[in-house]
Amino acid sequence: MARENGITFYRISEACGIKADRISKIARGEATVTALDTIERIADALRIPGALLGLAARPWEDSSPTPHPESDDGDDPMNRRQLLRGALAAGLTGGALTALTDTRQSMDLALTADTAPSDLSDLEAAAEAYGYGYHGQPPTRVLADIAGDFTDLQTHLDSPQPVATRIRVCRTAGQMAGMIAIVLHDLGARKEARKWFATASTAAKESGDRQLHAWVLAREAMVPLNYGAPRAATLLAEQARHTAGNRPTAAATLAAAVAARAYALADQPEQARQAVRAAGSFMEQLDAGARADTWLTHGEQKHHVHLSHAFTALGDTRRARESQQRALELSAPTSTMTRSLLTIDAAACLHHDGDTEQACQRAVAVMSRLPDAYRTGLVRRRALDLYRSVPAQHHHERAVRELHDVLTA
């Protein structure tokens, strides 16, 4: 009927406050409307008697049509402006008030329009699911899955959206871009990781979610932290701490823990210990939701993984081993990367305490068992740091040579 009478989906969209592409899908039978308030809005906008939609008679059915100040071209903003001015020229008459009411109601419809993409909730749920990490899957497979869903978000930003919907899209985009950056970082693609963190940061700022922005900055700090630039990492970590604020949130706790690691590697032990204390204080106050074991939160296992590295870098091997043991207890057998990193931290503690041979043997064992998908990234870098910490005069020793051979294979 709409097509036969020259009524476009855009006109129906504007009248009903529903996105035009969704109107098109409904018309083709590819989507349905089930929310009662949306059905009522459609009935009122298109003047469909309630009985035809299984509703009670609509209020307007028992009254004469309200004179409307718009002509057939009333959807033209210029015509609307002229009609409104003309109605108000005579003062606050009934017609003028009706024109004002129509103007206000049009804005109300636009502000509350049911224009959220139908799959946005699915994409938000997908982002939450990805936050649970690798679960034994190769990082490249996880990367492909997240990137695939991320592309679907872009289409929702290419067209105008209500503010609330845009905030949701930007928040989800920030989460997904941040997780893509995490995987790239773990795989050793640090330049690409930084680019994706920049995208995540832009999306997080656009969403207005300061905690998400702080999380992105803290995660980004781990790129220079793990790849030989601890002072650059301290700057990013402190920026994350400032953005997160002083409340005990997952992002604030993560930022303090990352700062502790960065300061320890930058030979700033006092600042490192202060950050450890701040992270511990926040951790004690986190609620159950913030303690969940995901990339987007800060669980006890993750906390001890960070402390393990911080205490190892500080040379506090006793406390490092305590965190390593607790983190291993909380890590699933499928957490290949985390368990490997903890074992190499333990090897570094052995080296610090004087048993370099045993330290290298443990690192070799880890690298030899590592699946191919994990051998070029973060675990290799951590093992390489151990090798470089061994004085040159010991490089001829068998265990040290074996570690060198594994790292250069």
For 357: left if phi > 0, alpha if psi spans -120 to 50, otherwise beta; the answer is: alpha
pLDDT of residue 112: 52
Residue 292 CB: number of other CB atoms within 10 A? 17
Average per-residue pLDDT in the chain? 85
Dist CA 127 CA 140 (whole Å):
17
The token duo for 61 is 């059915």
pLDDT of residue 99: 67
Dist CA 205 CA 235 (whole Å):
19
Q: How confident is the model at residue 263 (pLDDT cuts 50, 70, 90)?
A: very high
Least confidently predicted of 159-163, 168-172, 270-274? 159-163
Higher-confidence residue: 340 or 10? 340
Regarding pTM above 0.75, the answer is no
In the predicted model, is pLDDT for residue 148 greater than 90? no
pLDDT of residue 73: 44
Percent of the chain with pLDDT strictly greater than 90: 50
Taking residues 300-318, report their average pLDDT.
95
CA atoms within a 13 Å half-sphere pointing along the CA-CB vector of 349: 21
Taking residues 311-340, report their average pLDDT.
92
Dist CA 197 CA 177 (whole Å):
7
Taking residues 188-213, report their average pLDDT.
93
Dist CA 280 CA 268 (whole Å):
19
In the predicted model, is pLDDT for residue 301 greater than 90? yes
Residue 231: closest CA among 260, 270, 263, 256? 263
* Residue partners of 357: CB distance under 8 A and separation at least 6: 397, 399, 400
pLDDT of residue 221: 96
